[in-house]
Amino acid sequence: MSNKSSIHFEVSERKVLLRLFDVLFALGGLYVISRQFEFDYFYITKENWIWTVILSLYITMVGTVFELYDLQASSKLDVTFKNVVLTASFTVLFYLLTPFITPFLPEKRLQIIYFYLTILVGIFLWRIAYVTLINSPRFYKKVLLIADASDIAPMVNIISESDPNYDIVGYVNSDYEINKSISFKGLKKFQANEIVTIVAENGISEIVVASNNVDTITPELYNNLINLLEDGYVIREYTQVYESITQRIPVQFVGKDFYKYFPFSRSNQNRLYLSFSRVLDIIVSLVGIILAFFFLPLIVLGNLIANRGPLFYKQERVGKNGKLFYIIKFRTMVRHAEKGGIQWAEKNDRRITLFGNFLRKTRLDELPQFINVLKGEMALIGPRPERPFFVKELIQSIPFYETRHIIKPGLTGWAQVKMRYGSTVEDSLKKLQYDLFYIKRRSIFLDINIIVKTISTVIYYRGR
């Protein structure tokens, strides 16, 4: 019964595929030109294996910074080409600047051009193949959704926005009390008693169950799902799909059985991890403070000319376990910005000065916060600390909001690198979902991922 002919790739599989073939196409191109032409700067042999390893690491690390493995960007050739050019350029630059672990510079400087063009063309040829073949509808995952009719529209929208390759072809309404005439554009409606036939005829590879009330799953529907499971079909609960695709915790769908959704990472109690994180916080904050002194003359001059007022700005924030502390920043708004009362900072906020906007975009305004990190009030990575006034409001409207305070707030974090801006309760809900995902999955590897994405945010001038 299982649809063995259906081929699709999970989000994680596509990311691995992109990284793997970026490296293989680049190395394959270099292998060919080293054998067919007078090119001896880089050649793959057992003796020079370290050259290959270093180049592979550079490609994947630099590619991550320049969003070469962002699935949304990778589906568009124009965006992909720009990212490939940046990745190839900086990869070659770093490779040339580390001759103690890479080949010495060739006597014929023209070979550097060949080296660069081969990497550039190799990766881009693979990306053309990816967009044409792997990212085409033939590899989409076809999904059947079983859910209450009233919840289907937001569920479909969230999944479609997060992963265009996740193709929900139809749904079964599990709530018979809701008007059966309800329909959704572009989405087929099926009957529960036809589910086995539906799955076979439509090439369904995954069934997502999203009913809030288990009583609406009739004995007939339950038995059909069991039979499909035994035939090899994947059946998943919606919150699992939501978390894996969006990399957020769906708190709006979590009820009294919340403990099922928050098996928080052991790293939150792991002394070795916490000690390592604290040492990293201290080292990075000391470097950050030195960096702040380096930029201080420029910032002081800009503040005198454009901001005309105090250089620093202190504001009360909520830290770990609800403890209050004062965050330190370079001032980016006009003086007395809240004389009319406390308010959200908004996109294109008129209170932000021209120079303040530059500080925010480059994140230079946050350099003084390394003092907070050094004092232990903040960490390098964690949820963004919020003001007590807004915390009190958000606790009333967003479930589990206080949960983000079980770890130290961070200078950067999963929500900060995944969201461009947030200035509403809805944005705060989304940020909370990212924060809880980080708390749940917290690890050294996720921390490294956040640091790399933070570098990308600064490079692309995406500060808030």
> Tell me, what CATH number does 172's domain have?
3.40.50.720
Tell me the two tokens of residue 311: 């250089």
Whether residue 258 lies inside any domain: the answer is: no
Pairing mode of beta strands 410-412, 188-190 = unpaired
Is the pLDDT at 122 greater than 70? The verdict is: yes
**More confident of the two residues 22 and 211:** 22
pLDDT tens column, 357-374: 888 888 888 999 999 999
Q: Which helix (H) or strand (E) holds 219?
A: helix 219-230
Check whether residue 339 and residue 451 sit in a common domain. Answer: yes
DSSP state of 253: G
pLDDT tens column, 265-284: 777 888 899 999 999 999 99
Whether residue 257 lies inside any domain: the answer is: no
Check whether residue 185 and residue 64 sit in a common domain. Answer: no
Q: How far apart are CA 232 and CA 168, in angstroms?
A: 19
Helix, strand or coil for residue 234? Answer: strand
Check whether residue 117 and residue 220 sit in a common domain. Answer: no
Whether residue 464 lies inside any domain: the answer is: no
Tell me the two tokens of residue 192: 């529960």
For residue 2, the model assigns a pLDDT of: 46
- Give the pLDDT mean for 226-230: 88
What confidence tier does 386 reach under pLDDT thresholds 50, 70, 90? very high
Q: Which of 64, 99, 134 is the last residue of a domain?
A: 134
Is the pLDDT at 155 greater than 70? The verdict is: yes
Q: How far apart are CA 435 and CA 418, in angstroms?
A: 10
- Other C-beta atoms closer than 10 Å to the C-beta of 450 total 22
Check whether residue 285 and residue 419 sit in a common domain. Answer: yes
What confidence tier does 190 reach under pLDDT thresholds 50, 70, 90? confident
- Give the pLDDT mean for 434-443: 92
pLDDT tens column, 2-50: 444 456 667 778 889 999 999 999 999 999 988 888 788 888 888 888 9
Whether residue 6 lies inside any domain: the answer is: no
Residue 386: alpha-carbon gap to chain centroid? 21
Q: Starting from the edge strand earliest in sequence, which strands make up the sheet with 206-210, in order? A: 188-190, 166-173, 141-147, 206-210, 234-237
Angle among Cα 441, 463, 387 to the nearest 5 degrees reads 70
Q: How far apart are CA 24 and CA 388, in angstroms?
A: 51
For residue 1, the model assigns a pLDDT of: 43
Whether residue 3 lies inside any domain: the answer is: no
CB 119, CB 76: distance < 8 Å: no
Check whether residue 319 and residue 450 sit in a common domain. Answer: yes
Q: How far apart are CA 192 and CA 88, in angstroms?
A: 52
The number of folded domains in the chain is: 3
Q: How far apart are CA 26 and CA 120, in angstroms?
A: 8
CA distances from 395 to 123, 352, 415 (A): 47, 28, 18
For residue 412, the model assigns a pLDDT of: 93
For residue 281, the model assigns a pLDDT of: 95
**More confident of the two residues 23 and 74:** 23
Start-to-end CA distance of the chain, whole Å, equals: 51
For residue 356, the model assigns a pLDDT of: 85
Range of weakest confidence among 79-88, 184-193, 198-207: 184-193
Check whether residue 63 and residue 154 sit in a common domain. Answer: no
For residue 458, the model assigns a pLDDT of: 79
Check whether residue 119 and residue 228 sit in a common domain. Answer: no
Q: Which helix (H) or strand (E) holds 190?
A: strand 188-190
Check whether residue 152 and residue 43 sit in a common domain. Answer: no
Q: Which of 215, 246, 277 is the last residue of a domain?
A: 246
**More confident of the two residues 261 and 393:** 393
Backbone dihedral region for residue 328 (phi beyond 0: left; psi -120 to 50: alpha; all else: beta): beta
Q: What are φ and ψ of residue 176, in 5° steps? A: -75, -10
Write the CB contacts of 87 (distance below 8 Å, at least 6 apart in sequence).
59, 62, 63, 66, 68, 123
Q: How far apart are CA 398 and CA 426, in angstroms?
A: 9
Q: Which of 103, 134, 165 is the last residue of a domain?
A: 134
Whether residue 5 lies inside any domain: the answer is: no
CB 37, CB 162: distance < 8 Å: no
Q: Which helix (H) or strand (E) holds 54?
A: helix 49-65
Whether residue 54 lies inside any domain: the answer is: yes
Tell me the two tokens of residue 298: 């420029």
Range ranked top by mean pLDDT from 71-75, 191-195, 388-392 = 388-392
**More confident of the two residues 153 and 396:** 396
Q: What is the mean pLDDT of the chain?
A: 85
Domain holding 306, by residue range, is: 266-459
Check whether residue 36 and residue 154 sit in a common domain. Answer: no
Closest by CA to 155, choosing from 242, 213, 234, 225, is 242
Check whether residue 289 and residue 438 sit in a common domain. Answer: yes
* Amino acid at residue number 293: F
* Amino acid at residue number 3: N
Check whether residue 91 and residue 207 sit in a common domain. Answer: no
Angle between helices 49-65 and 11-36 (to 10 degrees): 130
Q: How far apart are CA 175 and CA 260, in angstroms?
A: 23
For residue 370, the model assigns a pLDDT of: 95
What confidence tier does 212 reach under pLDDT thresholds 50, 70, 90? low
- Give the pLDDT mean for 120-141: 87
Check whether residue 153 and residue 204 sit in a common domain. Answer: yes
pLDDT tens column, 298-353: 999 998 888 888 889 899 999 999 999 999 999 888 877 777 667 766 666 778 88
Tell me the two tokens of residue 21: 């073939």
Residue 271: alpha-carbon gap to chain centroid? 26
Whether residue 1 lies inside any domain: the answer is: no
Tell me the two tokens of residue 154: 């937001």
